[in-house]
Structure 1
């Protein structure tokens, strides 16, 4: 592979919103003191903070586990790591829920809570069932603080591929392996589509977002913590299929955006949106177009060439690489007009 020209939007210089205080406020005082002194470079690349009962305190950065030592230093030796206690988990959970577990029961039984700033706290523990449904999670044994970062402007270079005239957006699918930046790219595309880009020749579209996992907009108490544009309407924590139909009936969107489609009901709802004249921007987990096309639920959409643009992300040579942008009908790379190429291009 020629790496001389890698499109790596996660490396692109952009306005980035990441206040440390929102993360630190979710931690007990002694854990806060351990973590707040971490090097700035580690804060800048930090993806997760992991707390597990009777296990080492660690952060994940650039897909590497880094242990937090009892003296506040970091390293890879588990013997020196601070061991998270049950009391640490209980106190952190109280702070995350703002001492109101009952008010957040609906979120808790889904396995995560969104805190101020759009950061998401994953929960593991003992699940309490009510018949076939999960009622809640108790005896919390693990918390995963997933750090949300918005990178303003990372989609600018790609808008010309998905908007070809002032009033024409092309149905777009982003294919990506886990943790390769697909939601980050999707979020910024939504912002650009909603706000409009005068230099690109369009004023802006009415965008409806079905944010089932609260990852796109990061809504906290109903208010999106991420900038998703001035013409955007959000259904937070709503199942995709139901949300798509709700938006069509009530908000007259020109574009509907969702993350991580895969269920047959998602596909049916997308077809309904297209039949109603609404365009679609969405993502799917996958390592290649071929893999996605083989999935039974997605096969009808792919065989009908519903998506006019297909953006493929990769973690090679590094996370955040745009491997290709394809014409959805011809499957020809728009980065390489002579045909599909596996080489990555550079945007500088």
Structure 2
């Protein structure tokens, strides 16, 4: 941006060359309880030194506008956040390396590999057979031994039992097909075997010119690069076949998947995923990145097409779009009332049932809604507010 002329009666922002009434770059200001000198913040964040000019134009040209102040402040805080996160990461990394050396690297890697094999067993086609006795037998045989070091003889026996049981199940299904009275036209067992993964009814495959294939779920339009990832998504999300408990690869305890990282921290000293800026803990590492983008960085990339409001997640946008929708899917079974949100319907039904669960602690008057109780306390018992 070029300057055509300078007006001594107006301030000049040294960052965007706007004219107006601005703040001094060298003057200390206070914001959120801390002192800010904008020239020092620019130098620390961008390694650019904004120097004042000599003469009468020194004061009016050594200014910064409100818009640029906010951008400099964001850059300065982001730089501090990155530095803090890097220091905490190196500290956690060094402590994790020390713990791995103390436990023995070979033992840890071996047990992690064993856990990976167990996870594949959870998604294997064996569980698709409708044989409850077999599933129980398989779980008993696959259950880890009370001792971590299992003898080779016991492992071989477990594998033989699983293979034998699988063979019996296949023979039983073949015999059942032949006994259904179809005669010579009965198909072979291999033809009636359930397909692995998902079928074309649930997924759509797209092949690009460079040879890359992607798999799209027809139910929710999620895209995956690998077919096994698509299969796992379909079973867990749409068929509700997500495993409830997951094994810990350092002990015999089984915990829900979303509690696994907290178990590792409490029982084995391995820190859970944590935000370096505020210290909040999460179940999975991707939640840390999502938290930092939405909460600390203020990233809102999902915009409403009706009112131009932006949201940090797609679920929040979907919930907001209900405001613009004329439909009221939640209908009352007692009357003709209909609502946009399920929670409003539940409160309405409580009125029909006279469910007064919110009781005043002073006069014991009961109300259906908590908002009604708050209004009562504000009007009848102002001393409690």
TM-score, with structure 1 as normaliser: 0.22
Structure of greater Rg? 2
With a CA cutoff of 8 Å and minimum separation of 6, indicate the structure with the bigger relative contact order. Answer: 1
Query: Which structure features the higher share of strand residues?
Result: 1
Query: Which structure features the higher share of helix residues?
Result: 2
TM-score, with structure 2 as normaliser: 0.21
